[in-house]
Every structure is written in C-alpha cells, then in structure tokens.
Structure 1
Amino acid sequence: MSFKLLLTDVTSPLGKALEHELEREPFKLLVPAAAELDWSDVQSLKTYLQKHQPDLIVNCRGWEEAFYSGGQAALINTARELAQACAEVQIPLIHLSSYTVFGGDGKGTHSEKDPVAPLNDSGRAFAEAEQVIAASVPKHIILRLSWVIGAYGDNLLTRLLSSFLAGASVTVNRRLRGAPTALSDAARVAVAMSKQIYCGADNWGVMHYCSSDACTEDEFAEQLLQLLIQQQLLTAEPSISLVDSDPTDEPLSAILGCRRARDYFGIQARSWRPSLLPLVKQWLHNREQIKAAQ
C-alpha cells in the first residue's frame, strides 16, 4: 500500500521547495487543485480527507504570508481547519512554524521548551496556529525554523541582493542573531521526518531546525557583499549601515536549539555557507528570466 502525503501549498517558495523534495520520494503526493478543495471551508477539507485518506499532512499554507502586514489570517484559518479535520479523521500533521513565536527574553538560543511570547503580528499568528494544532491533533509535529533564505520570494537574502546590486545603502542590525536556513534545507528536514513517520516513527511535539552556522545580520550581509565582490557581480558600490540597538518588535535571537530533531529523527544541521553562491546564481538567473519575459 502506498503512503499518501498531502502537501497543503505548492505555490509559495517554501511550498515549492517541499514539493521538489517530495517528488523524489516513493510517496503518493496529494496536491489538491482549487476545484477539488476549498481551504476556506472546513467541510470541504473533511470531505477531501475522507475521500483520499492521506497518511500524513505537511502544512506550510500561509507560512509566507504570515510575515507580511495583514497576511496572517491564512495561516491561522488553515491551522484551525486542519486541526478540526485531523482530529476527526485522526491524520498526523507536520506544521511549519517560526522562531518569531519567541519574545524579548534575551536568550541566545531558544529550546523547544521555552515559553512563547511573540512581539509582532506574525509571531502572534504563528503562536496561535501552534496552540490550535497542539490542542486538537494528538499526533503532530510543530517544526519551527530560523531565518529562511532562498533564491525566491521575500527573505533576507533576496532583499540584500536587490539592494546590493542596485548600489543602494543597506541597513542591518548587528544585535540580531540567527542561523540562516536555506529553503531546500528546511524542506529536507520536513521530508526526512515524513519518511521516518512512514517507517513507523512515533515522535511528536515541538521540534526546531536551523542551520549549524549562526551569525549576526550584519555578518551575513558582509559575507554576501564579499561574495558579490569576488564574483565581480557588482555594477555599483553599495554600503552597509549598522544599527546597534535591540529591536522591540522581534526576538533578539533566531537561533534554535535542535536537540529533539537530532535525538528523535537523527537530523544533522548543515551550514548555509556552501549554498550561498548557488542561491545567488539562481536568483540572478531568475532575474534575467523575468527581464527577458517583459
């Protein structure tokens, strides 16, 4: 009997990365079209689940939008619908979340057991989605991620690249610390967990994943700038302006302790540094394609 996995989103950068990883696996991947499933209707979701009977759901729907003003509703609503439907038909769920659930406690590394105390709208949305799922779905994994970077979408890497190649001044905070995690690396971890669940793993709860290489925001920006200089990719001279004060609207640290993912699933963290040049080249390729299509 084939293992059926429902992926809730394949349009966002994270959803596309997950789909790309899952297509390599011997799963029957369910990606419902709009005509098959109305995500705003919990009864439509229940009907779909009863008809197709997936063995596992991986949810990243609304993850990208949750970081933007007014975009948090999709994350919360999908979490509520999935929690209700999964509880009724008893389907395990892997739900993607974020370091933004943490507050201004000043901790250098957040563990899975640390209390959540979000400081902004996106953090509050991620925290609410987590609470809804944890309260209703016995077999769940809430997978929190640090700074996610990639060649697509709006993230720290793409914002810096756009500014650097335009010769603009970039403002970064030297107090903010994170562990940049490539989209493909985050997807690798979610798929590794899915494969072990397929093989009978029975480990649930909150898990963390981030890269093995922590840095400050300005260190990441400087590393990227040096790479662009080495590759002779700059046509104008950008500059970096430093902010040296604690932020009030996000956690000082996005570094996550990943003990449970390592102990329960054997997942080893990878460095973001070897992937930086390939990501830059992919971003440049994407930009050229967009220009050619215009």
Structure 2
Amino acid sequence: MRVLLFGANGQVGTEIRRRAGGDVAIVALDRARCDLSQAGAAARAIEREACDAVVNAAAYTAVDRAESEPDLAGRINAEAPREMAEAAAAKRVPLIHLSTDYVFDGTASRPYREDDPVAPLGVYGATKLKGEEAVAAGGGAYAILRLSWVFSAHGSNFVKTMLRLARERPALRVVADQRGKPTPAADAAEAALLVARALLADPARSGLYHFAGDAPASWADFAEAIMAEAGLAVPVERIATADFPTPARRPAWSVLDTAKFERVFARPAPSWRAGLESVVAELGAPEKEEGR
C-alpha cells in the first residue's frame, strides 16, 4: 500500500512514517514539499504522486493563535482538505482525514457520539469542522477520524510540556475541570493505516469515526500520571479553567465515544497509560534540578 501523507512531521505523521516498510510505502509531504497555505498545493500533490490512499495528518493546531489568524487556519484546516477530497475522489483513492474533539462545545454529560450536534467554541474548532464537511462532500471514499488530546515523543504536546516544567518548577498548576481521553499518536497512526486498508477493500466503510484513548481523565489526572510514570515527585495543584485564561475557549468535556470505530474496524480503544509508558521511556525521565 502506497500512502501519500500530508503533515509528515507532526505527531501522528511521524508515527505513520515509522510504520513504513513491508507492504507499506509512505510518500511523506512536509511543509517544505507541500505548503498547504498555498491554494492548489494539496491538489497538485495528489495529482502528481502515485498512491493507493491519502492520509491528511496536517493541520493548523495553534488553538490560541488561530483566534488572530482565522484566514490562515481556514486555509489549512478547511480549504486544503477540500482540495484533497476532490483530488482524491478524481483519482479514486480513499482519503483519511484527522480531525478533533474541538468541534464540540463541551457541554455534554456523556461521551460524544459521531451524530451528536457540533458547536465549536473557537476558530480552530470551526475551521476543522469546515474541513470535515468538505471531506464528506468530496465525492470519494473517505474516513474522518476525530482524535483528542494526542501525545507522543515528538513535537509539542502535554506530556512533553509537563516533563519540561517538572525540571523547572517545584509544583505544577494544572486544570482539573476539563476532561477528555488522551490518545497516543502511535495508536492513531495505526488506526489511520488500518482504515486506509479497510477503505481500499470496502469503500462502503466511509464515514465519520471517533478514535481516542480508553479512559477519561482531566488534565490534572493526566499530569499526575505523567509524573508517576516518569518517577518524579512533583506535586500537581488542581486549578479551574478560570484560573488559567487563554485567548481561545476549550471544551470542558472532550470525551469521545469510540464504539463505532471499535465495531466497524474490530479494534479496541488503545490504553493511553500503556502509550504513556512508551512515550516516557522514549523521552527518558527528566532529571530534577538540584534542590527541587
């Protein structure tokens, strides 16, 4: 299977590249090879490259900066996926598009299902939702995978931030009133490739799916798990969202229901604690500063 991969240097993109070999060949496109901020770049890449499937792991993910850069966020998160969907449909190859829990407003009291109403709170979520709609309307085989709280040993993410701050501070102040499901990027990569194979075999599996870790947690819970896994005795002070203001609002409830994905693709939700163990081992537990 030859996969054309957008966002090759992101968290999930890096993990997908790691899975090259055997019968999986990855044509990796990063910003230098395909600048999605340029109109037509995504379509031209698909038209140019021979592939069996396209995976879009690229996105404008600077949630707060998106509030002041809505046009750029919209270009990358909505217009580029539209180009991909139309070009992939023209070549009759499936498109696997990664999306986000931020399409919801976080007011639910049970895990979000794929057919629940969407109501993004900010520019990032709104542009990702437009990207979903464009992919679904593209006319070809597709799968949209909504992910939440992705982490890995690469790029910028909560695990790496907490381990860095643990070297610098005597305690960590972490929001405790936002809940979601941490998702290992390695498992998201496996899921994307699994879905690509499935759509090649049966395009009728096209649709919208939630993929996330196996158990809900708050950011403070997650931070405590990170400290425990790294063997660091750094206390976590639980704070409210109101105590940590940001330009963009975050959904207080980002728990995704993954039952549909598990049923259609016969793959259980991944253990985020097992994923955390692997990531911390890869990073190496940080040394605390003298006297901290």
Q: TM-score range by the shorter chain?
A: 0.7 to 0.9
- In the TM superposition, what is the alpha-carbon distance from 1:200 to its structure 2 partner? 3.6
CA distance in structure 1 between the aligned counterparts of 2:109 and 2:116, rounded to whole angstroms: 10
- 1:56-79 per-position Cα deviation (integer Å, ceiling 9, x unaligned): 111012254567533624223321
Aligned to 2:172: 170
Cα pair distance change 1:36/1:15, threshold 3 Å:
closer
Aligned to 2:263: 263
Of residues 208, 211, 220 in structure 1, which corresponds to 2:210?
208
1:236-275 counterparts in 2 under 5 A?
A: 238-244=234-240, 249-275=249-275
| Range 123-132 or range 194-203, more displaced | 194-203
Aligned to 2:9: 11
State percent identity of aligned pairs.
Answer: 25
Of residues 34, 54, 59 in structure 1, which corresponds to 2:56?
59
**Any gaps of 5 or more consecutive residues in structure 1?**
289-294
CA distance in structure 2 between the aligned counterparts of 1:195 and 1:67, rounded to whole angstroms: 35
2:105 and 2:118 in contact (8 A); partners too: yes
Aligned to 1:292: none
2:181 and 2:215 in contact (8 A); partners too: yes
1:31 maps to a residue whose letter is A
CA distance in structure 1 between the aligned counterparts of 2:153 and 2:78, rounded to whole angstroms: 26
- In the TM superposition, what is the alpha-carbon distance from 1:96 to its structure 2 partner? 0.3
- In the TM superposition, what is the alpha-carbon distance from 1:149 to its structure 2 partner? 1.1
- In the TM superposition, what is the alpha-carbon distance from 1:243 to its structure 2 partner? 2.0
2:256 maps to a residue whose letter is L
- 1:149-188 per-position Cα deviation (integer Å, ceiling 9, x unaligned): 1122221111111111212542222221111111101111
Cα pair distance change 1:65/1:87, threshold 3 Å:
farther
1:150 and 1:182 in contact (8 A); partners too: yes
- In the TM superposition, what is the alpha-carbon distance from 1:31 to its structure 2 partner? 2.7
- In the TM superposition, what is the alpha-carbon distance from 1:38 to its structure 2 partner? 5.8
Q: Please report the TM-score for the alignment, with normalisation by the length of structure 1.
A: 0.82
- In the TM superposition, what is the alpha-carbon distance from 1:110 to its structure 2 partner? 0.4
Aligned to 2:290: none
| Range 240-249 or range 9-18, more displaced | 240-249
1:267 maps to a residue whose letter is R
1:139 and 1:204 in contact (8 A); partners too: yes
Aligned to 1:184: 186
1:62 and 1:78 in contact (8 A); partners too: no
- In the TM superposition, what is the alpha-carbon distance from 1:122 to its structure 2 partner? 1.5
2:267 maps to a residue whose letter is I
Aligned to 1:27: 24
Q: How many residues align?
A: 277
Of residues 201, 210, 227 in structure 2, which corresponds to 1:225?
227
- 1:38-71 per-position Cα deviation (integer Å, ceiling 9, x unaligned): 64242x5545434434221110122545675336
CA distance in structure 1 between the aligned counterparts of 2:106 and 2:46, rounded to whole angstroms: 40
Instruction: Give the alignment's Cα RMSD to 1 decimal.
Output: 2.8
CA distance in structure 1 between the aligned counterparts of 2:252 and 2:185, rounded to whole angstroms: 22
- In the TM superposition, what is the alpha-carbon distance from 1:117 to its structure 2 partner? 0.4
1:278 maps to a residue whose letter is S
Secondary structure in structure 1 of the residue aligned to 2:205:
coil
CA distance in structure 1 between the aligned counterparts of 2:125 and 2:22, rounded to whole angstroms: 32
1:157 maps to a residue whose letter is V
| Range 65-74 or range 194-203, more displaced | 65-74
Secondary structure in structure 1 of the residue aligned to 2:119:
coil
CA distance in structure 2 between the aligned counterparts of 1:123 and 1:166, rounded to whole angstroms: 32
1:93 and 1:137 in contact (8 A); partners too: no
Secondary structure in structure 1 of the residue aligned to 2:13:
helix
1:36-47 counterparts in 2 under 5 A?
A: 39=36, 40-42=38-40, 45-47=42-44
